[in-house]
Amino acid sequence: MSRQAGAPIWKLAPQILPPSDPPQDWMLRFLQDCRQLARVRPIDDLFRLDRINLKNYLEYQSSGLGLEGPRLQVADLERALESNVSATMTAHPLTLLMASLCDHVGIAGVVERLGGFVVVMRVFAWLAQLNKETYDALGDLTPRTCQLTTPHPIWVNMVAPPSLREALVERRDMFVSPEFFAAWANGMRLINWPYRPVDALRVNEESGDMWLTEAFIAHALRGDNWQPTETFAARWPGLRRFTKPVEGGP
């Protein structure tokens, strides 16, 4: 997307590189489908967390999804926008995408799967529509200037700590690679959640359907609540000053 002089900041898209590995390809294809649909109808409801049932998403099973990726089409997005199915839809396009990404790198922790879903959903909501409402909802994911001017992989926009995100854009030749993506995705921990993992959810006891709570959504959007394990920090010591590793993290 070309940049327009004097355009509001929320209309400026980040400079995203072509995909270099399967996860980036899945994310960019999903974004393209969202933008295609947004040209003909409003898609706000696609990203409303109170409409996204997380029941199946939390049932972690290492599967072919992590190898082949989600099999999604624009028609799947259209179906998720139907008012009579979205709230109970256990195969929502976003949950299928996130399950594929989590399977690919082996993320099984409940809190990280839930928090990662919040982050990815909010970033895609903005990238797909580029309006003030989605921009204001980004929290600490609000883009730094370097994201708007320097080409980088799409997943870097989903790195929650702002200082780390900026460092990765500016040092992309050193750190941005498929190997680094997998290590980062599997090495970040959502800390400081003071309750049980189940308290992040509203649960229908009869059906088992689940939706995220507003308190947890706000928690996951704070960049300082995401920190790497000590193993990650030791592997990339050049990034240590941009983070505060979790003591004793695996």
Supply the DSSP string of 21-42, one letter for each residue: SHHHHHHHHHHHHHHHHHTTS-
53 neighbors 88 (Cβ within 8 angstroms) = yes
Nearest to 13 by CA among 37, 34, 43, 40: 34
User: What does the pLDDT read at residue 152?
Assistant: 95
- What gap in Å lies between CA 214 and CA 202, rounded to an integer? 10
204 neighbors 55 (Cβ within 8 angstroms) = no
User: What does the pLDDT read at residue 243?
Assistant: 82
User: What does the pLDDT read at residue 242?
Assistant: 87
Within 10 angstroms of residue 104's Cβ, the number of other Cβ atoms is 21
- What gap in Å lies between CA 78 and CA 221, rounded to an integer? 27
User: What does the pLDDT read at residue 63?
Assistant: 52
Which 8-state DSSP code applies to residue 177?
S
Q: What are phi and psi of 159, to 5 degrees?
A: -80, 115
Nearest to 188 by CA among 229, 217, 224: 229
Place of tokens 């920190």: 227
153 neighbors 20 (Cβ within 8 angstroms) = yes
- What gap in Å lies between CA 153 and CA 4, rounded to an integer? 22
- What gap in Å lies between CA 250 and CA 241, rounded to an integer? 19
To 10 degrees, the CA torsion angle through 199, 203, 209, 211?
A: -50
Alpha-carbon distances, residue 87 vs 45, 90, 124, 169, 205 (angstroms): 11, 8, 19, 37, 15
The string of DSSP codes covering 104-154 is HHT---HHHHHHHHHHHHHHHHHHHH--HHHHHTTGGGPPPHHHHHS-B-G
Amino acid at 96: L
User: What does the pLDDT read at residue 2?
Assistant: 45
| pLDDT by 10s per residue, the chain, length 250 | 445 556 788 889 999 999 999 999 999 999 999 999 999 999 999 999 888 999 888 875 555 555 678 888 899 899 888 866 555 666 889 999 999 999 888 888 899 999 999 999 999 999 999 999 999 999 999 999 999 999 999 999 999 999 999 999 999 888 888 899 999 999 999 999 999 999 999 999 888 889 999 999 999 999 999 999 999 999 999 898 888 877 644 4
